Structure 1
Amino acid sequence: MSDLFSLKGRIALVTGSGQGIGYALAKGLAAHGAKVVLNGRTAAKIGKAVATLRGEGHDVEAAVFDVVDAAAVGAEIDRIERELGPIDIVVNNAGVQFRKPLDEFPDDKWQELLQVNVTGVFNVGKAVAKRMIPRRRGKIINIASVMSELARETIAPYTTTKGAVKNLTRGMCADWARHGIQVNAIAPGFFKTELNTALFENPDFNAWLEKRTPAGRWGAVEELVGAAVFLASDASSFVNGHTLFVDGGMTVSV
């Protein structure tokens, strides 16, 4: 068998991986051979996720920190590298959502979305890149969204942040590709996760989604694993600054 997609012997950090997409990606990377460090802000939640994956035979560890806190990010990445080894792969998945008409959108929620969804990606990406650059290797995968390209009512700030993630991915590539680092993004469409509970519990929205998406359905989080493994492995050695849409065709249809 080819080792092109193997992650054996590599260490991966996945932020916001206590549930949803982050958890699915952490599990998928571990299943392909990586030692995976799960991250979140709540020790109990991350501890439970780690225990579950260990029970399934995966090699996983925990790192509790807030991606918004640059000092905490740096300290934990130092600890991970000191105790486990060099980080080869980072998945910047941590993110938040809040829905409200734009003219009624709370100022504090606007700031929270900017800090978590954009500054968090910057903080983790920068901290890890500083360590990857001397090694002249590394994979950074940022989680964008179909909302990097589209917009819907009540989520303009979220759309703003995910558009920023797409362009930050390009900027990271422009700065760091020369150092042997590949920086790409995955842009999920509509997946049944905790962030989308209000949507998939709404029959009207479900009907709209099935009609709007060429594939005619929601995505399952496991369907994002293949894209992550591709971008984390040697298979994508000359793919850089790219955003891979995994959306059932939503962004190409009218």
Structure 2
Amino acid sequence: MSKRLSGRVALVTGAARGIGLAAAKRLAEEGAKVLMSDIDADVLAEAAAGLEAQGLIVQAAVCDVADPQSVAAMVDKAVAAWGRIDILINNAAISDDTPIEQLSDAHWRHVLSINLDSALHVAKAALPYLKQSPSGSIVNIASVQGIRGQPHAMAYATAKGGLVNLTRCMAVDFGPFGIRANAVAPGYIDTRMAEQKLGTPHEHQTDWFQDIYFKYGRMPLRRAGKPQDVAGPILFLASDDSLYVTGTVLVVDGGFTATY
């Protein structure tokens, strides 16, 4: 039985752990050759080795997505290895909850450079190869914080909101080349981003979170998501199952944004 992504090459940023790793695994299981990139060299190498041990075709590329030269080298590595790029998953990001009183201009720019600017840099570098693909697809990983306001999320939420509209602009500009661009907006997902300070309980395990989001129904599905819950929607948007879907935002949040 033919796999959905056989013969295609995917590039996944922020792939050392969490949603990025889950997406890289899912795409590779469907037949894609996957270049996994991350700035954390040791964790990335371990993650890539783990997927290779499962018989999946992956390579690792250490990359600082805030640096256009590093991005160019990452794209070159994928093309040198497999001669093409068909799928781009812009997942690299950092969390931030800095109140405006402590939010310096430098920190604001740092958060936006990684969470927003990087998606533009990577897409621009990969665009010549995506244009050559018969089924080019870009999936940007946004957040429900880019759709709704949240306390102390000025920089992070602004970046993710910008990424949502950048996705729409990509869909408009790249559509004539047959390239689709969509976003996935995860809600509360059990990843390192949701961890609190070392030695304290995971945010999703705290009494206040359990009460507000599960007991009192702010999360209709009554659980936080897993990275694998997001990998499936990413696969859908990367594959031919969504050939007439572009410029959309697929919210993956357990029903969080359906409540008030």
Indicate the TM-score class for this superposition, using the shorter chain for normalisation.
Answer: over 0.9
Q: Among 19, 22, 40, which residue is 2:20 paired with? A: 22
Are the aligned partners of 2:138 and 2:182 in contact in 1 as well (CA < 8 Å)? yes
Q: Counterpart of 1:111 in 2: which secondary structure?
A: helix
Are the aligned partners of 1:136 and 1:179 in contact in 2 as well (CA < 8 Å)? no
Query: Match of 1:170?
Result: 168
Query: Match of 2:157?
Result: 159
Q: Which amino acid aligns with 1:238?
A: Y
Q: Which amino acid aligns with 2:84?
A: P
Q: Which amino acid aligns with 2:36?
A: L
Query: Match of 1:236?
Result: 242
Does 2:206 correspond to 1:202? yes
Quick check: 158-167 or 217-226, which moved more? 217-226
Residue-by-residue CA offset, 1:144-175 (whole Å, 9 max, x unaligned): 11111111111121110100000000000110
Gaps of 5+ in 1: none
TM-score by length of 1: 0.94
- What is the aligned length? 252
CA RMSD of aligned residues (A): 1.5
Q: Counterpart of 1:241 in 2: which secondary structure?
A: coil
Does 2:221 correspond to 1:215? yes
Quick check: 28-37 or 195-204, which moved more? 195-204
Does 2:20 correspond to 1:11? no
Cα separation, 2, equivalents of 1:221 and 1:83: 27
Query: Match of 1:187?
Result: 185
Runs of 4+ more than 3 Å apart: 134-137
Q: Counterpart of 1:151 in 2: which secondary structure?
A: coil
Quick check: 8-17 or 68-77, which moved more? 68-77
Q: Counterpart of 2:195 in 1: which secondary structure?
A: helix
Query: Match of 2:200?
Result: none
Query: Match of 2:259?
Result: 253
Cα separation, 1, equivalents of 2:189 and 2:63: 26
Cα separation, 1, equivalents of 2:49 and 2:134: 33
Q: Which amino acid aligns with 1:231?
A: L
Are the aligned partners of 1:139 and 1:181 in contact in 2 as well (CA < 8 Å)? yes
Are the aligned partners of 1:98 and 1:109 in contact in 2 as well (CA < 8 Å)? no
Report deviation, 1:109. Answer: 2.2
TM-score by length of 2: 0.92
Give the % identical residues: 38
Cα separation, 2, equivalents of 1:130 and 1:207: 49
Q: Counterpart of 1:12 in 2: which secondary structure?
A: strand
Report deviation, 1:17. Answer: 0.6
Q: Which amino acid aligns with 1:87?
A: I
Cα separation, 1, equivalents of 2:149 and 2:81: 43
Residue-by-residue CA offset, 1:115-158 (whole Å, 9 max, x unaligned): 00011111001111132224454111000111111111111211
Report deviation, 1:63. Answer: 1.1
Query: Match of 2:104?
Result: 106
